Amino acid sequence: MRSDTQVLFETYRQNVYAAAFSVCKNAADAEDILQETFLQYHQTNKQFDSEQHIRAWLLRVALNRAKDVYRKRKRRNETPLEDYMETLTFPSPESGALFSAVMALPEHYRSVIHLFYYEDYTIDEIAKLLHLTQSNVKVRLSRGRKLLKESLGEDWNDDE
């Protein structure tokens, strides 16, 4: 299965950008990764099983590229989180605070939290995307949640 690159770009651009930014924390790099990811899709001859497979492939390419960029830059030219957050809209102040707390997590917790909660991937899908075991994903989710709970303090709501 192959889909039109322009249609996929319009459908998944925000998801790919958010995934890239969650790793590299730099708006310019995330934009470059977004473009490179869709260019790579356009140039590949790979056949996909479904649209979900295409989405997973796009996110995997973006996350891997973002990790490479992040390692090379080592926070040089990093966009302050506050500048990026000004471009986003949140349904409530609490969801903005939660996103800020997620972005402050170490990368290995941040990426699984982002994929699980913001991209609605299952633990099995995250494990395949990041080349981890399911138990490792569960551990990272658990530790990431614990760090979020500590950073959010009294504002944390265990009911959700």
Give 45-86 pLDDT, tens digit per residue: 888 888 889 999 999 999 999 888 877 775 455 555 556 556
Q: Which one, of 129, 39, 18, lies nearest residue 84 by Cα?
A: 18
Kindly report the number of other CB atoms within 10 A of residue 20's CB atom.
29
Residues 6+ away with beta carbon under 8 Å from 93:
none
Q: How far is CA 137 from CA 2, 78, 79, 143, in A?
A: 30, 27, 28, 10
Rounded distance between C-alpha atoms, residue 88 and residue 79, angstroms: 14
pLDDT value at 159 more than 50: no
All structural domains of the chain with their residue ranges:
1-88, 90-160
Does CATH number 1.10.10.10 belong to domain 90-160? yes
The pTM for the full model equals 0.56
Give 104-145 pLDDT, tens digit per residue: 888 889 889 988 988 888 999 899 888 899 999 999 999 999
Give the pLDDT score at 160. Answer: 45
Residues 6+ away with beta carbon under 8 Å from 89:
none
Give 78-115 pLDDT, tens digit per residue: 555 556 556 667 777 777 778 778 888 888 898 899 88
CATH label, 1-88, candidates 3.40.50.2300, 3.40.640.10, 1.10.1740.10, 1.10.490.10: 1.10.1740.10
Q: At what angle do helices 27-43 and 5-24 cross, to 10 degrees?
A: 140
